[in-house]
């Protein structure tokens, strides 16, 4: 079950293993020098506004062919008693949405844009700080874009995200 993302994402052991791997990486990174302001700061570029369309999630039935997973005896095959086996499964999906980013730039330059998903509030409705919550950030997308001098409007649709993939199974 751990070999395929389609099944591993439903296995609690996967998340325990994944959590352990992340803990090892965090321990290793404690030995590295922290990033400096010079490394992180994009001189002359400022994000002025970010708007995200409402994220709407829903369950929908997904049907796939599982005929290869069914054993048919030689006699069933010989007598042509082989039939297609379809499986229907509810899956969580979402409506497409846009991320609108406005950027003021003093320079024309290539830029890498990263979009993260993270909780804004804890379970009691109290706002979370970046310092206390950085491990709960999930990178949804990254892409390159060309900035022109002046104001730039970047619109990224969720169907363009690098992690977006149509269901294969």
Mean per-residue pLDDT over the chain, rounded: 90
Buried (b) or exposed (e) across 112-139, using 16+ Cβ within 10 A? ebebeeeeeeeeeeeeeeeeeeeeeeee
CA 140/CA 130 separation, integer angstroms: 17
Over 80: is that where the pLDDT of 117 sits? yes
CA 66/CA 88 separation, integer angstroms: 10
Tell me the pTM.
Answer: 0.75
Residue 168: per-residue pLDDT: 66
Q: Which two tokens stand for residue 13?
A: 């052991």
Confidence band, pLDDT 50/70/90 cuts, at residue 1: low
**Which DSSP helix (H) or strand (E) runs through 112?**
strand 109-117
pLDDT in tens, 33-83: 998 988 889 999 999 999 999 999 999 998 888 877 777 788 877 887 777
- Domains of the chain are 1-32 (no CATH), 34-54+97-169 (2.60.40.1520), 57-94 (no CATH)
């Amino acid at each position: 079950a751990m070999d395929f993302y389609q099944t591993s994402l439903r296995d609690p052991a996967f998340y325990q293993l994944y959590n352990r791997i992340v803990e090892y990486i965090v321990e290793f990174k404690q030995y590295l020098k922290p990033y400096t302001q010079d490394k992180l700061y994009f001189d002359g570029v400022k994000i002025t506004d970010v708007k995200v369309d409402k994220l709407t999630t829903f369950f929908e039935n997904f049907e796939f062919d599982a005929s290869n997973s069914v054993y048919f005896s030689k006699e069933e095959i010989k007598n042509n008693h082989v039939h297609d086996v379809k499986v229907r499964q509810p899956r969580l999906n979402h409506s497409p949405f846009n991320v609108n980013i406005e950027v003021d730039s003093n320079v024309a330059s290539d830029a890498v844009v990263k979009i993260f998903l993270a909780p804004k509030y804890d379970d009691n409705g109290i706002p979370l700080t970046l310092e206390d919550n950085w491990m709960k950030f999930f990178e949804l997308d990254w892409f390159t874009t060309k900035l022109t001098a002046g104001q730039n409007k970047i619109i990224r649709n969720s169907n363009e995200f690098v992690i977006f993939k149509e269901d294969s199974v």
